[in-house]
C-alpha cells in the first residue's frame, strides 16, 4: 500500500466500532506499516539530499574554475592593452581577429556627497521596508496579525 492509502486506512479504523483489543491490533499493524514506509521515504530523501550536496560541490568547483579562467582572460587583456598603449598601436588587424582599444566613457566617483554643491546633488526620497522581526515579535506576543502582513508558522520534516 502507498503511504497515503495507509493513512486513509488508519483514519477509517479509528472511526470503526470494533472491540478495543481488535481495534488496537489493527491500528498497531497499520502504524507499523506506516513507520516502515516513512523510513523508506526518509532514506530516499537522504539519498536525494546527498546527491544535491554532491552537485552543489561540483557547481562550486566549476565556479571556482570559471573564476580562474576569467581571471586569466582579464590578465591577458590587461597585458595586451598595456603593451599596445606602450607602443602606440591603437588597432591590430590579424587574420582571425582585430584588436583595438578606445577611451571608455567618463566616470565619476564621489568621495563625499556632503561636500558637493547643491546643483550636483539629488534628493532621493526615503523608502520604507517591512520590519519582519518586529511583526513576528508582535504576532508571538499577541497572536494578532499586523494589517498588511501575514505571519504564519509552518512545520518541517527533520531526518536524522
124 is a domain residue: no
Number of domains into which the chain is organized: 1
Alpha carbons 2 and 36: distance in angstroms, whole number: 11
Alpha carbons 69 and 140: distance in angstroms, whole number: 50
pTM > 0.75: no
Q: Which residues of the chain have pLDDT under 70?
A: 159
134 is a domain residue: no
Alpha carbons 59 and 50: distance in angstroms, whole number: 14
Q: Which domain holds residue 21?
A: 1-93
Alpha carbons 26 and 147: distance in angstroms, whole number: 49
Return the residue matching grid coordinates 489493527. 26
157 is a domain residue: no
25 is a domain residue: yes
* Cα angle 14, 15, 18; round to 5: 80
126 is a domain residue: no
* 93 SS3 class: strand
Amino acid at each position: 500500500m502507498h503511504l497515503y492509502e495507509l493513512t486513509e486506512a488508519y483514519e477509517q479504523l479509528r472511526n470503526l466500532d470494533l472491540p478495543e483489543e481488535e481495534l488496537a491490533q489493527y491500528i498497531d499493524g497499520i502504524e507499523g506499516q506506516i513507520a516502515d514506509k516513512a523510513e523508506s521515504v526518509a532514506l530516499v530523501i537522504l539519498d536525494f539530499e546527498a546527491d544535491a550536496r554532491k552537485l552543489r560541490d561540483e557547481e562550486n568547483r566549476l565556479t571556482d574554475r570559471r573564476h580562474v579562467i576569467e581571471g586569466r582572460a582579464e590578465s591577458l587583456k590587461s597585458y595586451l592593452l598595456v603593451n599596445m598603449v606602450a607602443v602606440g598601436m591603437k588597432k591590430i588587424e590579424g587574420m582571425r581577429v582585430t584588436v583595438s582599444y578606445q577611451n571608455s566613457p567618463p566616470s565619476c566617483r564621489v568621495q563625499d556627497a556632503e561636500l558637493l554643491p547643491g546643483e550636483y546633488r539629488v534628493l532621493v526620497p526615503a523608502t520604507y521596508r517591512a520590519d519582519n522581526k518586529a511583526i513576528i515579535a508582535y504576532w508571538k506576543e499577541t497572536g494578532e496579525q499586523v494589517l498588511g502582513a501575514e505571519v504564519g508558522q509552518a512545520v518541517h520534516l527533520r531526518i536524522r
